[in-house]
Copies of this chain bind each other. A is one copy, B any other.
Amino acid sequence: MKNIPSYIKEHKERFLNELIELLKIPSISADSAYKSDVLKTAEAIKSCLEKAGCDTVEICPTAGYPIVYGKKTIDKNLPTVLVYGHYDVQPPDPLNLWNSPPFEPVIKTTEKHPDGAIFARGACDDKGQMYMHVKAFEIMVKTNQLPCNVKFMIEGEEEVGSANLGDFVKSNRDKLKNDVILISDTGMIANDTPSITTGLRGLSYVEVEVTGPNRDLHSGLYGGAVANPINILTKMIASLHNENNHITIPEFYDKVEELSTEERTEMAKAPFSLENYKKALDIDAVYGEDGFTTNERNSIRPTLDVNGIWGGYIGEGAKTVIPSKAYAKISMRLVPNQDWQEITKLFTAHFESLAPKGVKVKVTPHHGGQGYVTPISSIGYQAASKAYEQTFGKKPIPQRSGGSIPIVSLFEQELESKIILMGFGLDSDAIHSPNEHFGIWNYLKGIETIPYFYKYFTELSK
């Protein structure tokens, strides 16, 4: 392929500015107050795909936020790459921890990003990584080097569980027909250590509500005599892990894939410094399931974390209240073979069984998805590996991620193709956290690498 670095160099400022404009729209799918912004973002993506060179682009309605679909067909006999990404973003809370407003992008240098990084909610997850594909596509079109057909499917509900994408995929198998699905919604080890994500964890996300008395009570008059839903909730949650940090839900581990000693030894070769890890997080010790290393705990083992908890008086000062209700949002990361719906049922049954008399418990499933493993023998993986080797000068390391893209296993099942996860962000990019950012070097390196994936995938498909 020719002229790719020079095209990027020439259009770098525009590539950055276009992304910055997208980042200014607060497309927070979890909060209905931002509905018009989410819809506005879908329109913006449509316009970007048209300008980049798609033959047709449509905004496909769903029961929730729409899916932006675009395509360019050059020859029906050539393979088709389906690019998936999302234009919605996580809520920016807690706002007070951001050094600059989350929807007013700024460029600053960091230790890991000496060439600068764009700070904004969605910079990396996933507007920045999704937009790399739009720009890589533009380059291939404008330089007449597009080697195959392309389809885009950019959704607006990834951060709230892709509730409507499954139906869309099932109803549009022909429209979405492809030979490989390409996604950039994961990370890599380091700028000098490229890696490709070969596994994702599944997810079951639930909300629990514990109700004690029918109204808030004075803790002096009722304290000690009625079940306080907060005290009860803490007891229930605490009991979900035992003293070895194993999850105590019956049958939870029954289907967990146990890796062989060889596989674990292979995993342990990935570069990792526990000291740097602790230092970066300012913690004096890591914490997790006995018998597993940090890299195993966050990739091949299932976990249970409370993502939010609230109840009673949480304002300034003191209020001596026993609240009527206490709540928590709890998510479980699952490994291949654990079925998220079965785990959600096991959780619900167990959690309800933990409730003592004197309280009522309600468990509401939010969303979930299966885990996924990409075989490194597939031509998709091989093409991606060669692409990284081309632009990074070294072979990428295959790596299991602890994250989840719940829809990935559904893609494989419904569309019968393999999913390749080419991520260019770093773990330190603070996705889902205040001060999310995405390195400019990473953004441009992604744009440079993607066309080679198209080239090698088309070649290997012959």
CB neighbours (8 Å) of A235 from chain B are: 234, 238, 241
Q: Is the CB of A356 within 8 A of B201?
A: no
Whether a CB of chain B sits under 8 angstroms from the CB of A382 is no
Q: Which residues of chain A from 193 to 238 have a CB within 8 Å of any chain B CB?
A: 201, 203, 205, 207, 212-228, 230-231, 233-235, 237-238
Whether a CB of chain B sits under 8 angstroms from the CB of A401 is yes
Q: Is the CB of A433 within 8 A of B217?
A: yes
Q: Is the CB of A314 within 8 A of B309?
A: yes
CB neighbours (8 Å) of A367 from chain B are: 318
**How far is it, in angstroms, between the C-alpha of A237 and the C-alpha of B438 when the chains are bound?**
38
**How far is it, in angstroms, between the C-alpha of A241 and the C-alpha of B224 when the chains are bound?**
11
Q: Is the CB of A297 within 8 A of B403?
A: no
Contact of A315 among B30, B218, B226, B435 (CB under 8 A): B30
Whether a CB of chain B sits under 8 angstroms from the CB of A417 is no
Max chain B C-beta neighbours (<10 A), residue from A304, A319, A327, A402: A319
Interface size on A, residues (CB 8 A): 102
Whether a CB of chain B sits under 8 angstroms from the CB of A117 is no
**How far is it, in angstroms, between the C-alpha of A205 and the C-alpha of B312 when the chains are bound?**
14
Whether a CB of chain B sits under 8 angstroms from the CB of A322 is yes
- Count of identical protomers in the assembly: 2
Question: Closest Cβ of chain B: how far from A173's Cβ, in Å?
Answer: 28
Interface string of A429-442 (1 = CB under 8 A from B): 01111110000000
CB neighbours (8 Å) of A317 from chain B are: 29-31, 91, 160, 366
Q: Which residues of chain A from 395 to 434 have a CB within 8 Å of any chain B CB?
A: 401-404, 427, 430-434
Max chain B C-beta neighbours (<10 A), residue from A90, A306, A315: A306
Q: Is the CB of A284 within 8 A of B161?
A: no
Whether a CB of chain B sits under 8 angstroms from the CB of A281 is yes
Whether a CB of chain B sits under 8 angstroms from the CB of A311 is yes
Q: Is the CB of A281 within 8 A of B214?
A: yes
Which residue of chain B is the closest to A206 with respect to CB atoms?
Answer: B318
